[in-house]
């Protein structure tokens, strides 16, 4: 079965990371059709909060317009990785380009982070792109709404792009499509009806982006994209309906990806419905691209049924209304809760834009066909007795402007808590949100008698395969090579051990970095020295990729050190101060308690102005530089801090 165990991949993960900083760095001067033309203006609208709940800290942003640009930002300030890379730099060796006639594979995101999933296969002049997702911002990128894949390479070959496959409807797999579709030449998007509906819904907000072209596929469908590339789709279990995996037939062999997936288990924890994977096992899979998000955790994924039974029990015992806070992206569970409510004779009211949108899509596609009239508008809840009501709401992570928070603060226009309410948190805690969720739960507990969270069960019932799931799938499919995807390096590395347990040796588990190009031939998987640009591209509400490093640095500095604004009103005729300088501090020191420092600053400002001869015209830029340097130094000497000093000169 396993024919060739040799691969010449580079085993050192850090070898390539430093190159992010240079040769391929995408300079802003690079020509781009979009940049030079009058860029169409896109609109960016609140993105619903569902996907960010799965992937990162929650921030909300305003409706804003922006124009897309193409220049990507290479975030060299991601210093840790770069530093380690420097320390472990290897002697250079001759570049090994992809073998002629080979299939090339590269990930533009998703290999060193959770999110920004995007990769492609390329054979001669045929390219198929897999997923175009976003990543939610990190602490290192304040003020950034999203990070999207760097499409530079694909843009340069957009004529060759024959298809985009979207595996499922989570934002970390689909939500950059609106920003990038034009750069990719607007190729046909192959995806399930459910994913299509979600993408289309969000695309309505991007009024100037081209209309998307979809080809809906179902499990079992086979599609020929181009002369040498075709794919067969299969369904996988995840947390949103119609999640797809695929087998891409290429001249090098069959490439299989399960997308985001988990195995379905029964009550006793035994996996079932393995036929799909068994079929793959007969297809002589060259490389299996495998979701490694939860591979580090032992055991099988806990059955979603167990979580649902627990929720059912809580609802059954509730005396008054039931309010359940959940992720809008966990559509499968929302649907299940609606069915449980129906069984127990409760009407369901939805609260939260993204939740309403997703349930609407599910309804339209027939996912609630039994008697979905038990879903009622929120404003109708007063028509029913409390024990007949269940409210499903977003905001389980303590997001400040989500529905749940408004209920907690007594500001919700329809729902006010009653002490007879039962509140259930049906969602795991996203790391980083612990504190806000804790205070949310405290606040609720002060107002109602029954508060539950199912977080312990939830952690074990995630939408991603755990260690045993991953092992079983590798064993059944028995591919020549395994490429763990969708996660950080250490999580992907966990797959090496698991693979060994099912007889797949270490040299056949390939850990790739973003941007590395692999060359695939019949019996070989080789990571070449070629790299395509994969640095971060930021979307900050104003534009794509126009957030320079200096802007990020300013934001970080402002957050850390605060700022001082100095306002100088200067007489135009003689260059003297009209009045004493105004000094405003934000996030630095409380001025009222530091009068001495403020007075000393004023004295120094007067001295700086005084040194300029009265006949000399005020050179505002020069004066500002002087003030920044001298006041900055003084403040540092006094406080050992470096706030941003912002002089404003008004000539009167
Ligand atoms: Zn997902």
Question: Which H or E element spans position 35?
Answer: helix 33-36
Using CA atoms, how far apart are residues 14 and 57, in angstroms rounded to an integer?
27
Using CA atoms, how far apart are residues 286 and 365, in angstroms rounded to an integer?
35
Quote the distance between the C-alpha of residue 394 and its chain's center: 18
User: In 3D, which of 216, 299, 640 has the Cα closest to residue 465?
Assistant: 299
pLDDT at 471: 96
Active site residues: 291, 464
Distance from Cα 395 to the centre of ligand 1, integer Å: 19
Burial 352-375 (b: 16+ CB within 10 A, else e): bbbbbbbbebbeebebbeeebebb
* Beta strands 285-291 and 322-325, pairing class: unpaired
Inter-residue contact 543 to 535 (CB < 8 Å): no
Distance from Cα 394 to the centre of ligand 1, integer Å: 18
* Beta strands 126-130 and 161-165, pairing class: parallel
Inter-residue contact 284 to 254 (CB < 8 Å): yes
Distance from Cα 524 to the centre of ligand 1, integer Å: 30
Distance from Cα 311 to the centre of ligand 1, integer Å: 22
215: tokens are: 């080809």
Burial class (CB in 10 A: 0-12, 13-18, 19+), 492: buried
Distance from Cα 243 to the centre of ligand 1, integer Å: 8
| Rounded (5°) CA angle 377-383-384 | 100
Positive or negative CA dihedral for 422, 427, 432, 434? positive
Positive or negative CA dihedral for 176, 180, 184, 188? positive
* Beta strands 103-109 and 243-250, pairing class: unpaired
Write out the DSSP string of 586-604: ESS--GGGGHHHHHHHHHH
Using CA atoms, how far apart are residues 387 and 367, in angstroms rounded to an integer?
25
Q: What are residue 351's DSSP bridge partners?
A: 393
644: tokens are: 């941003």
Q: At what angle do helices 595-610 and 620-639 cross, to 10 degrees?
A: 150
pTM equals 0.73
The SS3 of residue 519 is strand
Distance from Cα 614 to the centre of ligand 1, integer Å: 67
Using CA atoms, how far apart are residues 471 and 455, in angstroms rounded to an integer?
25
pLDDT at 546: 56
* Beta strands 450-453 and 422-425, pairing class: parallel
Q: At what angle do helices 193-203 and 353-364 cross, to 10 degrees?
A: 140
Q: At what angle do helices 304-317 and 331-343 cross, to 10 degrees?
A: 40
Using CA atoms, how far apart are residues 458 and 501, in angstroms rounded to an integer?
27
Inter-residue contact 212 to 189 (CB < 8 Å): yes
Distance from Cα 168 to the centre of ligand 1, integer Å: 7
* Beta strands 347-351 and 375-376, pairing class: parallel
Q: What is the mean pLDDT of each run of 10 residues along the chain (652 residues)?
A: 36 30 31 32 30 32 30 36 37 53 95 92 97 82 79 96 97 94 97 97 90 97 97 95 97 97 84 91 97 91 86 93 92 92 94 92 85 83 96 86 86 92 85 80 90 70 90 97 92 94 96 96 95 87 60 73 87 83 83 82 90 77 87 87 86 81
Distance from Cα 533 to the centre of ligand 1, integer Å: 25
The SS3 of residue 310 is helix
Distance from Cα 631 to the centre of ligand 1, integer Å: 51
Quote the distance between the C-alpha of residue 237 and its chain's center: 21
Length of the chain: 652
First to last CA, the chain: 85
Distance from Cα 399 to the centre of ligand 1, integer Å: 21
Number of Cβ atoms within 10 Å of the Cβ of 401:
11
DSSP class of residue 302 equals P
Q: How far is CA 56 from CA 50, 136, 137, 328, in A?
A: 10, 6, 7, 14
pLDDT at 324: 94
Distance from Cα 292 to the centre of ligand 1, integer Å: 12
Using CA atoms, how far apart are residues 383 and 374, in angstroms rounded to an integer?
13
User: In 3D, which of 352, 487, 428 has the Cα closest to residue 47?
Assistant: 352
Burial class (CB in 10 A: 0-12, 13-18, 19+), 507: middle
Query: What are the structural domains of the chain?
Result: 17-31+60-90+101-299+462-539 (3.60.15.10), 304-460 (3.40.50.10710), 562-651 (3.10.20.580)
pLDDT at 268: 77
Distance from Cα 606 to the centre of ligand 1, integer Å: 60
* Beta strands 118-123 and 103-109, pairing class: antiparallel
Using CA atoms, how far apart are residues 494 and 437, in angstroms rounded to an integer?
30
* Beta strands 285-291 and 214-216, pairing class: unpaired
User: In 3D, which of 149, 150, 141, 101 has the Cα closest to residue 123?
Assistant: 101
């Amino acid at each position: 079965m396993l024919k060739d165990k040799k691969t010449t991949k580079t085993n050192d993960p850090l070898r390539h990371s430093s190159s992010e900083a240079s040769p391929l760095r995408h300079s802003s001067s690079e020509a781009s059709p979009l940049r030079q033309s009058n860029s169409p203006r896109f609109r960016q609208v609140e993105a619903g909060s569902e996907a960010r709940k799965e992937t990162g800290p929650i921030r909300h942003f305003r409706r804003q317009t922006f124009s897309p640009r193409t220049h990507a930002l290479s975030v060299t300030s991601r210093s840790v990785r770069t530093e380690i890379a420097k320390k472990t730099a290897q002697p250079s060796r001759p570049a090994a380009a992809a073998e002629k006639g080979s299939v090339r594979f590269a990930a533009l995101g998703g290999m060193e982070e959770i999110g920004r999933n995007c990769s492609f296969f390329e054979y001669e002049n045929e390219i198929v792109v897999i997923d175009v997702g976003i990543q939610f911002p990190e602490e290192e990128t304040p003020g950034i709404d999203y990070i999207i894949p760097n499409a530079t390479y694909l843009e340069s070959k957009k004529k060759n792009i024959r298809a985009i496959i979207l595996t499922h409807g989570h934002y970390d797999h689909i939500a950059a499509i609106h920003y990038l579709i034009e750069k990719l030449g607007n190729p046909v998007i192959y995806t399930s009806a459910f994913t299509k509906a979600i993408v289309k819904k969000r695309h309505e907000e991007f009024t100037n982006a081209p209309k998307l072209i979809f080809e809906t596929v179902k499990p079992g469908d086979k599609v020929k994209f181009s002369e040498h590339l075709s794919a067969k789709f299969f369904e996988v279990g995840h947390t949103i309906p119609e999640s797809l995996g695929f087998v891409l037939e290429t001249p090098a062999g069959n490439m299989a990806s399960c997308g985001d997936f988990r195995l379905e288990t029964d009550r006793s924890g035994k996996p079932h419905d393995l036929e799909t994977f068994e079929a793959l096992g007969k297809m002589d899979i060259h490389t299996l691209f495998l979701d490694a998000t939860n591979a580090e955790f032992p055991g099988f994924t806990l059955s979603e049924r167990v979580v649902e039974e627990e929720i059912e029990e809580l609802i059954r015992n509730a005396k008054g209304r039931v309010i359940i806070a959940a992720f809008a992206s966990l559509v499968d569970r929302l649907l299940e809760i609606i069915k449980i409510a129906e069984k127990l004779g409760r009407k369901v009211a939805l609260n939260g834009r993204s939740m309403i949108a997703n349930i609407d899509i599910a309804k339209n596609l027939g996912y609630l066909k039994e008697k979905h009239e038990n879903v009622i508008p929120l404003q109708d809840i007063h028509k029913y007795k409390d024990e007949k009501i269940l409210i499903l709401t977003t905001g389980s992570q303590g997001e400040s402007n989500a529905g749940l928070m408004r209920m907690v603060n007594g500001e919700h226009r329809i729902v006010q808590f009653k002490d007879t309410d039962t509140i259930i948190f049906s969602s795991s805690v996203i790391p980083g949100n612990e504190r806000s969720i804790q205070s949310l739960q405290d606040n609720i507990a002060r107002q109602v008698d029954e508060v539950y969270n199912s977080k312990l069960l939830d952690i074990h019932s995630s939408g991603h395969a755990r260690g045993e799931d991953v092992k079983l799938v590798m064993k059944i499919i028995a591919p020549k090579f395994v490429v763990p995807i969708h996660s950080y390096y250490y999580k992907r590395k966990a797959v090496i051990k698991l693979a060994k347990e099912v007889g797949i040796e270490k040299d056949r588990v390939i850990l790739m970095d973003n941007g590395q190009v692999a060359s695939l031939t019949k019996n070989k998987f080789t990571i070449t020295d070629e790299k395509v640009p994969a640095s971060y591209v930021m979307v900050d509400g104003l534009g794509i990729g126009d957030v320079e490093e200096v802007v990020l640095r300013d934001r970080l500095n402002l957050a850390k050190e605060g700022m001082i604004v100095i306002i100088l009103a200067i007489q135009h005729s003689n260059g003297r101060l009209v009045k004493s300088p105004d000094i405003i501090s934000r996030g630095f020191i409380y001025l009222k308690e530091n009068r001495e420092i403020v007075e000393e600053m004023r004295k120094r400002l007067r001295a700086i102005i005084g040194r300029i001869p009265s006949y000399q015209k005020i050179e505002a830029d020069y004066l500002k530089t002087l003030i920044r340097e001298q006041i900055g130094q003084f403040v540092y000497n006094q406080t050992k801090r470096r706030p941003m000093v912002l002089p404003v000169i008004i000539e009167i």
